[in-house]
Structure formats: structure tokens, C-alpha cells
Amino acid sequence: MSFDHFDYKGVRFIQKVHSEKSISYVENELKVLDDDIFNVTYPKSGTNWMIEILSLIKHNGDATICQSIPSKERAPWQEIVEFQEQEANLTQPRIITSHLPHQLFAKSFFKSKAKIIYTMRNPKDIIVSLFYFAKIVCIFKEYESFQQAIEDIVKGNALYGSWFDHVKGWMQMKDDSRFFFITYEELLKDPRGSVVKLCKFLGKQLDDSQIDSVVKHSSFSSMKENKMSNWTHAASDMLDHSKGTFLRKGVSGDWKNHFTVAQSEYFDKIYEEKMKDLNMSFSWE
């Protein structure tokens, strides 16, 4: 996948969607509020799913807002050029999305009581998701081969830089009480349990039926039907809807249908090398 890019402090961004000014605004000027909730991920890790869950928790399971306001306005990406306009319309507690690596994150966050939810996903499934995503995003040039998608992640040339650095950077906060770490795979395996844990972390008390409603309305099938969450509202010069859907499969382990044995072994070897100093293990297929 290639796109018109620029690098900011060694991390790759898209021209026009991002600018040096928009990233620097977040880094140096954004005033983080103590009740802000940040939804942080590496792309294709379940960002939109978490937007839906957090929006529903904020509104006590009531889906009205999720069904009337597009996800990108409910929980805007803080590093994009449009963010400052969107920021003005957010109600507290603000839900703010970000793919920024730890080292570029809002400096004022670190002096605040705001919270971060970091969702991580099996990088092999991220590669598959990204491979299909590149086909539908108009400003991306499609990958010529699946191997190219693997190389983009291995070499850190993908949008937002290296997946390995992103995870290692954010894991520095794993013992911080303002940081909640969850995996896409855990969300899939135990959606209700995950919502309960998130509510506890956010200090939100929802009753059983409200929790059921969060789980129901954030399910893959509900989100796929919801025009405010499935990105069908995106203009056709942004997403080519004839080439695929944003909510594609929503499963874990799809990498097994795409990686050859050699590609899988190649990736595992690099993973071992790059992640050996992290001392954390993750459960995914």
C-alpha cells in the first residue's frame, strides 16, 4: 500500500488527512480534560468497535446517539486536520480516538487524570485487515501482493509507523491506573465480561439490561447494519464501497486463510526478535 505521506518525528502520516500542524496541536497544545476517555489503537485493531462500546457505555446502553451520529464525530481522531472543529462539538466526558504512538501523544494527558483504553490485536490479523482496507480507501494504492502488506508492517512503513514500536511504547503504561489494556480477541471471546470490566475502569455503573444493550448494539451484526457505524456514510471519493466493506469479517485467526507457512514462520521470527524485550505474552491463535 502506498499513499502520499510525510514523516513526523520518524512516524508515517497521510498528506491532507494529517498535517504537521494537526499532529503538533495534539502533542503540544491539546488541553486534556480530567474526564476525557481516549480510545487508542494501532489501525485495524478494533478502533471502531471500541468507539461503539464506549459511546454506548457513555449513554448507559441507549443506542440513539450511535444510530444518529457517525462514529467519526462521536469519537473523532485527534490527530487529523479536522479535529479542532470536531473537538468544539464534543460533550463531556469526551471520547477521543487516536492511533498516535506513545511518544507523540498529547503531553497534557500525562499531567491529567484522563483515561486511555488501548486495544491490541494479533498483528497477523491486522495485516489481513489492512490488506483489504487498502482496496477500499481511495487515497491508498492497493497492495500488489499479500507479501507487500506483511513487509509494510515488518519494516514499519505502514501508516502510523511500526506496530511493534506502537505496542512497546504504549505498554510502558501497563501498570498505570489510568491505562486499560484489552485485546480484540478478548472482546470477541467475552464481550459482556469486557464491557463489565470497562465500566468498572471508567467508574460507570450500568445495570444488567444496560450492559446487555451495550453488548447487543456493539456486536458485529448490529454495527454492520448501523449506517452511523459501518462507514457507508463516507463519501465515495473517500471509500470505494464497490470494492468491499469496512466491517469485513470481524473474526480472529483469518490470517490462517492468507499467510503461507513460510510467511507465517517469517513473521513469527521477526515478532520474536522485536518483542523479546517486552516480557509479555498475548493469547491469540
- The catalytic site residues sit at 99
- Residues numbered 20 to 49 that lie near ligand A3P (CB under 6 A) are 41, 43-49
Q: According to the binding rule CB under 6 A, does residue 70 interact with ligand A3P? A: no
CB of 246 to ligand A3P, least distance (A): 7
Q: According to the binding rule CB under 6 A, does residue 129 interact with ligand A3P? A: yes
Cis ω before 101 (30° cut-off from 0) = no
Name the phi and psi angles at 186, rounded to 5.
-65, -40
- Residues numbered 174 to 233 that lie near ligand A3P (CB under 6 A) are 218-220, 223
- By rule CB under 6 A, what string of x and - marks binding of each residue 135-174 to ligand A3P? ----------------------------------------
C-beta of residue 70 within 8 angstroms of C-beta of residue 234: no
Q: Is 76 exposed, middle or buried (0-12, 13-18, 19+ CB in 10 A)?
A: buried
**CA R_g for the chain:** 18
Near ligand A3P by CB under 6 A: residue from 70, 169, 250, 253 = 250
Q: What is the DSSP string of 189-230?
A: H-HHHHHHHHHHHHT----HHHHHHHHHHTSHHHHHH-TTTS
Query: Closest CB to ligand A3P among 129 and 210?
Result: 129
Number of residues that bind ligand A3P (CB under 6 A): 20
Q: Tell which residue, 256, 277, 278, has the closest CA to residue 267.
A: 256
Residue 123: CB atoms within 10 A of its CB come to 26
Near ligand A3P by CB under 6 A: residue from 59, 168, 216, 248 = 248
Binding segment (CB under 6 A) for ligand A3P, from list 19-27, 76-84, 249-257, 276-284: 249-257
Q: Which residues bind ligand A3P (CB under 6 A)?
A: 41, 43-49, 125, 129, 132, 218-220, 223, 247-250, 254
